[in-house]
Amino acid sequence: MARFIPDVAREDIMHDSERVVYEALRALPTGFVVMHSLPWLRPTRDLAGEPLREGEADFVILHPQNGLLVLEVKGGQPELSGRVWVRDGKEMRDPFEQARRSRYALLDAVEERTRKRVNRALFTHGDVVVFPHARFAGPLPLNAEPRIVVDAPEVSSLPTRIEEAFKAWARRETRLPPPVFAELLDALMPKLRLMRCEGAEIAAERQRIVQITLDQRATMLGLMENARVLVEGTAGSGKTLLALEFALTLAARGERALFLCFNRHLAAWLQEQAKHDPRAQSIGARLEISTFHAYARGLAKRARVPFDVPESGEQSFWDDEVPLVMEQAIEVLRTRGQAEEFDAIVVDEAQDFAPDWWVTIESLSRAGRDGRLYAFLDLNQSLRGTAKLPSVSLATRFHLTTNCRNTKTIARSGASLARLDVRLLPGSPVGEPPAVRRAPSAAAEAGILLSEVRQLLQQGIEPKQLALIGPATHSKGTLAKHTEVDSIPLIDDAADWRRGGGILVTTARAFKGLEADIVIAYGLNAFGTFFSPTDLYVAWTRARHRLILVCQAGQVRQNIEAALSEAAKQQDATTPSGS
Going along the chain from its start, the domains and CATH numbers come out as 3-188 (3.40.1350), 227-394 (3.40.50.300), 429-574 (3.40.50.300)
* Three-state DSSP state, 412: helix
Does pLDDT of 379 surpass 70? yes
Tell me if 245 sits within 8 A of 253, measured CB to CB. Answer: no
Calpha distance 449→479 (Å, rounded): 9
Q: At what angle do helices 239-252 and 198-220 cross, to 10 degrees?
A: 50
Closest CA to 60 of 19, 6, 112: 6
Mean pLDDT of the chain: 88
pLDDT at 206 over 70: no
Bridge partners, residue 168, by sequence:
none
Q: Please determine, for residue 385, whether its predicted confidence score (pLDDT) is greater than 60.
A: yes
287-291 and 372-377 strand pairing: unpaired
d(CA 167, CA 177): 20
pLDDT band at 578 (very low <50, low <70, confident <90, very high): very low
DSSP 52-118: EEEEEEEEEEEETTTEEEEEEE--S--EEETTEEEETTEEE--HHHHHHHHHHHHHHHHHHHTTTSS
Helix-strand-coil split of the chain, %, nearest 5: 45, 20, 35
- For 157, other C-beta atoms within 10 Å of its C-beta total 13
| Residue 86 phi, psi dihedral angles, 5° rounding | -135, 140
* Number of other CB atoms surrounding residue 358 within 10 Å: 21
Dihedral of CA atoms 281, 283, 285, 288 in degrees, nearest 10, equals -120
Phi, psi of 505 (to 5 degrees): -115, 115
**363: nearest Cα among 387, 388, 333, 320:** 333
**Beta-sheet pairing, 484-485 with 423-424:** unpaired
CA distance 213 to 349: 19
Residue-level pLDDT at 156? 92
Query: Is 179 within 8 Å of 202 (Cβ atoms)?
Result: no
Output 438 or 136, whichever has higher pLDDT: 438
* Residue 480 half-sphere exposure toward CB, CA atoms < 13 A: 10
The number of residues making up the chain comes to 579
Q: Which of the residue ranges 61-70, 229-238, 420-429 would you say has the lowest mean pLDDT? A: 420-429
Q: How many CB atoms lie within 10 A of CB 490?
A: 19
> Could you tell me the strand order of the sheet in which 79-81 lies?
79-81, 84-87, 90-92
Taking the C-alpha atoms of residue 207 and residue 125, their distance in angstroms, rounded to an integer, is: 55
**Residue closest to 546 by CA, chosen among 454, 444, 429, 421:** 429
Query: CA-to-CA distance for 166 and 65, rounded, in angstroms?
Result: 10
pLDDT band (50, 70, 90) for residue 423: confident
pLDDT for 577 equals: 46
pLDDT confidence band for 43 (50 / 70 / 90): confident
> Distances from the Cα of 190 to the Cαs of 8, 182, 231, in angstroms?
19, 11, 58
Which range is least confidently modeled, 37-51, 350-364, 511-525? 37-51
The dihedrals phi and psi of 501, each to the nearest 5 degrees, come to: -75, -10
Tens-digit pLDDT profile for residues 64-121: 999 999 999 999 999 988 889 999 889 999 999 999 999 999 999 999 999 999 999 9
pLDDT at 64: 95
Q: Is the peptide bond before 6 cis (omega within 30 degrees of 0)?
A: yes
> For the whole model, what pTM was predicted?
0.64
Q: Give the pLDDT confidence score for residue 572 in this predicted structure.
A: 60
What angle is formed at CA 225 by the lines to CA 223 and CA 227, rounded to 5 degrees?
95
Greatest mean pLDDT range, 208-222, 414-428, 482-496, 559-573 = 482-496
**Separation of alpha carbons 267 and 247, rounded Å:** 13
Compute the Cα dihedral for 302, 305, 308, 313 and give only its sign. negative
Cβ 522 vs Cβ 499: under 8 Å: no
C-beta atoms surrounding 395 within 10 Å: 9
The DSSP string of 2-58 is -EEES---GGG-S-HHHHHHHHHHTTSPTT-EEEEEEEEEEEGGG-TTSPEEEEEEE
Of all residues in the chain, the percent with pLDDT exceeding 90 is: 62
Which residues contact residue 509 at a Cβ distance below 8 angstroms, ignoring those fewer than 6 apart? 263, 383, 535, 538
Q: Is 268 exposed, middle or buried (0-12, 13-18, 19+ CB in 10 A)?
A: middle
Q: 171: closest CA among 276, 66, 76, 260?
A: 66
140 CB-contact burial (10 Å; exposed 0-12 / middle 13-18 / buried 19+): middle
